[in-house]
Amino acid sequence: MTHRFSFVLVPLLVAALAVSGCGGGEPAPQSAEADTAATPNTITLSEAQLREVSVDTMTVTERPVTTTLELPARVRPGADQEAYVTSLVSGRVERLRVSPGDRVRRGEVLADVAAPDLSGMVADLRQARDELDRQRRLDERGVAIEKNMRAAERQWQAARQRLRSIGVRRDRIRRVATGQEDLSTLPLEAPLTGVVLDRMTVLGAPVTQGERLYRIADLQPIRVVARVFEQSLDKVRAGQSVTITTPRGARTYEGTIDRVTPQVETKSRAASARIVLDNKEGRLRPGMYATVRVQRTGEPQPALPADVLLTDASGTYVLVQEDARTFRRVYVDTDASTDGTVAVPSLAPGTAVVSAGAYQIVSALSQSR
């Protein structure tokens, strides 16, 4: 139920002082200061004050409360959508074919490395192939020795495996073995289709076995990984709808939590929630910061609109109407900056709370101290 009163404090207080200064006439209305001496968070207004002050009240009601949880997040490629281009031999960078920002396709040659051991591997491959061919011809004539045939096959397999172990494809090995293709430098190929994110070397630089030359990633789709601190883990689960914004707030993305990791990291005390987003336009880039907002509607509980909350140095509070003329400041454990409806479990349903005119009452309460 809503109640309405009207008053203006300052003219009334001036009038009260004028009356008290006269030698006769009716006694002045009781002051708010006198009524708050024993209870500093309570003020009782006189009938005259109530006639001049505008106050609206609303009652606390039980309703489902939707809360918004904000999670810090980073944009990252999927684990199976990111790769490094690595030299599996020691040598020197002979050629760099792409730069950061270039789109590449799987199997495309991105760099060439001159390796001292490469010529020896190619020579062993061709020699093994020639010996195997010779043994096969002897076998066709029926004069081959079985142990020699088996030895030739083992050498052929070993020579091919050495080149496979440094990243040379099977079809290229066959062409090199027959002399259809040379292999003076080791070609480093893109392991997936994507965008070059980084280049970690320069032309002519020495490289060691296992050294990374490029980082590439497929950015469609892309992941947003949010940190869920352990105190909020019961509020986040797979399947929840979320809203994602980047720091500039230029665009909002809608998504669904795909997975929440089962482990809490020791240092951050947080688990990770993963959201997979469409990124055809390429607006989301690896490394970007983002904010993930999760909305959760709970069971019905005592609640009020957030705009009736007030704050001071001691916290968040509301003005409760005790009776027709008495109002009391009551602190509540909730966030005054929240939008919409907020839970106030410490207030009983049906409690009358000031929804308009609160600042005038607070001003009078402060002056009466």
Tokens of 357: 């005119």
Taking a C-beta distance cutoff of 8 angstroms, is the pair 254, 241 a contact? yes
| Residues 339 and 314 reside in one and the same domain | yes
pLDDT at 174 over 70: yes
Residues paired with residue 73 on neighbouring β-strands, in sequence order = 226, 290
pLDDT in tens, 272-302: 999 999 999 888 999 999 999 998 888 899 9
Taking residues 69-80, what's their average pLDDT? 91
Identify the band that residue 72 occupies on the pLDDT scale cut at 50, 70 and 90: very high
| Residues 226 and 288 reside in one and the same domain | yes
Taking residues 207-227, what's their average pLDDT? 95
| Residues 85 and 196 reside in one and the same domain | yes
pLDDT in tens, 9-53: 334 333 333 333 444 444 444 444 444 445 778 888 877 777 777
Domain finish residue from 216, 233, 263 = 216
| Residues 155 and 196 reside in one and the same domain | no
Reduced to 3 states (helix: H, G, I; strand: E, B; else coil), residue 200 is: coil
3-state SS string for 258-288: EEECCCCCCCCCEEEEEEEECCCCCCCCCCC
Q: What is the pLDDT of residue 56?
A: 87
Burial 319-356 (b: 16+ CB within 10 A, else e): bbbeeeeebbbbebebeeeeeebbbbeebeeebbbbbe
* CA pair distance 56, 52, nearest whole angstrom: 13
Q: What is the pLDDT of residue 14?
A: 36
CATH number for the domain spanning 241: value is 2.40.30.170
| Residues 26 and 133 reside in one and the same domain | no
Half-sphere exposure of 272 (CA within 13 A, CB side): 13
Taking residues 88-113, what's their average pLDDT? 95
Q: Name the domain count of the chain.
A: 4
pLDDT at 261 over 50: yes
* CA pair distance 105, 193, nearest whole angstrom: 4
Tokens of 146: 């079985």
Q: What percent of the chain has pLDDT over 70?
A: 88
| Residues 292 and 198 reside in one and the same domain | no
* CA pair distance 216, 100, nearest whole angstrom: 9
| Residues 273 and 317 reside in one and the same domain | no
User: What's the gap between Cα 223 and its chain centre?
Assistant: 9
Domain finish residue from 251, 273, 297 = 297
Taking a C-beta distance cutoff of 8 angstroms, is the pair 178, 129 a contact? yes
Residue type, 310: L
Task: Tell me how many degrees the CA angle 334-294-76 measures, rounded to the nearest 5.
Answer: 135
Tokens of 229: 């601190």
CATH number for the domain spanning 205: value is 2.40.50.100
For residue 69, the surrounding DSSP H or E stretch is strand 61-76
* CA pair distance 167, 173, nearest whole angstrom: 10
> Which residue segment(s) compose the domain that 104 sits in?
80-111+187-216
| Residues 105 and 199 reside in one and the same domain | yes
Taking residues 249-259, what's their average pLDDT? 87
Which of the given ranges, 41-50, 85-94, 318-327, has the highest pLDDT on average? 85-94
Size of the chain, expressed as the number of residues it contains: 369
* CA pair distance 136, 149, nearest whole angstrom: 7
* CA pair distance 94, 342, nearest whole angstrom: 65
* CA pair distance 70, 338, nearest whole angstrom: 12
Domain finish residue from 269, 297, 325 = 297
| Residues 129 and 156 reside in one and the same domain | yes
Taking a C-beta distance cutoff of 8 angstroms, is the pair 62, 300 a contact? yes
User: What's the gap between Cα 31 and its chain centre?
Assistant: 55
For residue 354, the surrounding DSSP H or E stretch is strand 352-356
| Residues 123 and 249 reside in one and the same domain | no
| Residues 87 and 193 reside in one and the same domain | yes
What is the overall mean pLDDT for the chain? 86
Q: Which residue has the higher pLDDT, 357 or 326?
A: 326
Instruction: Give, as one character, the DSSP assignment of residue 31.
Output: P
Closest-CA residue to 48 (of 64, 28, 62, 33): 28
Identify the band that residue 4 occupies on the pLDDT scale cut at 50, 70 and 90: very low
Q: What percent of the chain has pLDDT over 90?
A: 62
| Residues 235 and 282 reside in one and the same domain | yes
CATH number for the domain spanning 344: value is 2.40.420.20
